[in-house]
Amino acid sequence: MNRTVEMIIDGKPIELPTVVGSEGEVGVDISSLRNKTGCITLDPGYGNTGACESAITFIDGETGILRYRGYDIAELAEKSTFIETAYLLIYGNLPTRPQLVEFSDVLTENQMLHEGMRFHFENFPPSAHPMAILSAMINAASSYHPNLITKREECFPFHAARLISQVRTIAAFSYRKAQGLPTIYPKSSLKYTANFLHMMFSPHPGEDCELKPEIVKALDLIFLLHADHEQNCSTSTVRMVASSRANLFASASAGVCALWGPLHGGANQAVLEMLEEIHQDGDDGTKFLNQVKNKSTHRRLMGFGHRVYKNFDPRAVILKQQCDKVLSQLHKSDPLLDIAKKLEDVALHDDYFISRKLYPNVDFYSGIIMRAIGIPLDMFTVMFAIGRMPGWIANYKEVMADSDSRIARPRQIYTGATQRAYTPLEARS
Ligand code: CMC
């Protein structure tokens, strides 16, 4: 039987039920608290608030565990692919061979954008950040599919596949547009990640780029490692928007906006900018770390720290190894990797970082790999968005399938002025 928790408010005890997850996590169910006592709970940043029950991803931040649908991230990284993992996240199990073939076929069938969408790209200024284009175009795509709303459930598999497939096409088109390069259409014979690289880097329609298997593999791994991460800022945003019964594309577009910020997915771009700055400065990282530790500078070691991981981020461990592997496969060296390793080494032995349990997160090493494989800096967060799409879709599906789901509507503690009389303009000083 689940435990109950007793709370005493104004001397009166109230009993609250608990919910225990499959990995033993305990949540105190406070949903009756306001009705019973008039009080609400206050948790800015939601560090102690479980907003939902979810069966998709499990994280134990104390021991550095990340599992998608029960599978350890390191095992998936070694044995799976992004598309197989996307299926796993959305449908709950690894696909059988026929299921995988069918899923891949639907992705391929839906890879083309509606031709009308191409004209939208023309109206963005060349300086537009690709994340702005991505969120706008995903939302715009919803207007081409009215059955996103009218046939929400029966068409879900097609809309999910369309979104996973088209986010990649939109991303590549926005890059080509920003570079003033001709658009390269997707090629049905190519698999997901290879097809994306083809659309990004083929010199002209009709002249294909060389697709090095090690580059395709490295980017596929980056997508896979980003595919879900339970109730992070962007996924919570997707769930929040979905809770109003907004359509899948609108919810995912909101997720892109939330992801863009430098404290979330935008950190991968910010890490590279930081490493570049340290390099340009001729610093080995020591001066920069001193600035970070001096709170008056308001600087952060980007790519370090995490709300949930307080030991290590398993994705960062995999990506660090992958950095060395990719650079050696491509016979490249990168002074920024040396700086990153030095920063990590110093930070992990420095009391400022140790006492706050700050470790490298997924964004610390991913940018060095993306740079090595030729992804431009302002596309880094777009890569995160492509990778995270299956996780957003899985979470959207979970919200829609939950018959008890209510619109997400937090409360607040009001701290503004109490009631006052309106002052006419002439009487205001
Ligand atoms: N550099 C220096 N100090 C830091 C950092 C950092 N990267 N992260 C946290 N701190 C300090 C912070 O100043 C605070 O110190 P004090 O207790 O003295 O006031 C303490 O550590 C706790 O920080 P917090 O901001 O309360 O922690 P949070 O859980 O709210 O924030 C975070 C988590 C990821 C936003 C934060 O660690 C951060 O800003 N990191 C840098 C940005 C980054 O790498 N983001 C990517 C996160 S992982 C992928 C993703 O989610 O997209």
- Burial class (CB within 10 angstroms; exposed 0-12, middle 13-18, buried 19+) of 48: exposed
* The two three-digit tokens of residue 138, written as one number: 């995903």
Round to whole Å and give the CA distance between 50 and 231.
Answer: 9
Rounded to 5°, angle at Cα 338 from 332 and 340: 120
What is the identity of the amino acid at 134?
A: L
Lowest model confidence (mean pLDDT) among 120-124, 183-187, 383-387: 120-124
Round to whole Å and give the CA distance between 381 and 257.
Answer: 11
Q: How confident is the model at residue 227 (pLDDT cuts 50, 70, 90)?
A: very high
Round to whole Å and give the CA distance between 72 and 154.
Answer: 31
Nearest CA to ligand 1 atom 14: 356
Q: How confident is the model at residue 321 (pLDDT cuts 50, 70, 90)?
A: very high
Atom of ligand 1 nearest to the CA of 229: 51
Task: Say which residue the tokens 């097609």 belong to.
Answer: 158
Ligand 1 site residues (CB inside 6 A) read 45, 232, 263-265, 267, 292, 300-307, 356, 358, 361-363
Tens of pLDDT, residue by residue over 327-338, are 999 999 999 999
Task: Say which residue the tokens 């570049």 belong to.
Answer: 276
Average pLDDT of the residues in 179-205: 94
Residue 58 has φ and ψ, to the nearest 5°, of -115, 130
Per-residue pLDDT at 207 exceeds 90 = yes
Residue 373: how many CB atoms within 10 A of its CB? 18
pLDDT value, residue 22: 97
- What's the 240 CA to ligand 1 centre distance in angstroms? 23
pLDDT value, residue 380: 96
In the sheet with 65-68, reading across from the earlier edge strand, the strands are: 57-60, 65-68, 71-72
Round to whole Å and give the CA distance between 293 and 273.
Answer: 19
Residue 59 has φ and ψ, to the nearest 5°, of -125, 135
Residue 147: how many CB atoms within 10 A of its CB? 12
> Among 59, 293, 304, 363, which residue has the most ligand 1 atoms within 8 Å of its CB, making it the best to mutate?
304
Give the active site residues: 306, 363
Per-residue pLDDT at 65 exceeds 80 = yes
Round to whole Å and give the CA distance between 43 and 307.
Answer: 14
Q: In this structure, are residues 398 and 55 in contact, taking their beta carbons and an 8 Å threshold?
A: yes
Nearest CA to ligand 1 atom 47: 264
Nearest CA to ligand 1 atom 11: 356
What percent of the chain has a predicted confidence (pLDDT) above 90?
90
- What's the 359 CA to ligand 1 centre distance in angstroms? 10
Predicted TM-score (pTM) of the model is 0.95
Nearest CA to ligand 1 atom 52: 264
Tens of pLDDT, residue by residue over 116-160, are 888 898 889 888 899 999 999 999 999 988 777 777 788 899 999
Tens of pLDDT, residue by residue over 353-377, are 999 999 999 999 999 999 999 999 9
Round to whole Å and give the CA distance between 109 and 164.
Answer: 12
Atom of ligand 1 nearest to the CA of 304: 7
pLDDT value, residue 1: 61
Task: Say which residue the tokens 């560090």 belong to.
Answer: 47
pLDDT value, residue 151: 76
Average pLDDT of the residues in 278-301: 94
Round to whole Å and give the CA distance between 102 and 313.
Answer: 34
Round to whole Å and give the CA distance between 108 and 163.
Answer: 11
Tens of pLDDT, residue by residue over 232-285, are 999 999 999 999 999 999 999 999 999 999 999 999 999 999 999 999 999 989
What is the identity of the amino acid at 239?
A: R
Q: In this structure, are residues 69 and 54 in contact, taking their beta carbons and an 8 Å threshold?
A: no
Residues 6+ apart with CB under 8 A from 136: 120, 124, 253
Q: Which helix (H) or strand (E) is 71 found in, with range?
A: strand 71-72
Partner residues linked to 304 by β-bridges: 360
Average pLDDT of the residues in 87-108: 97
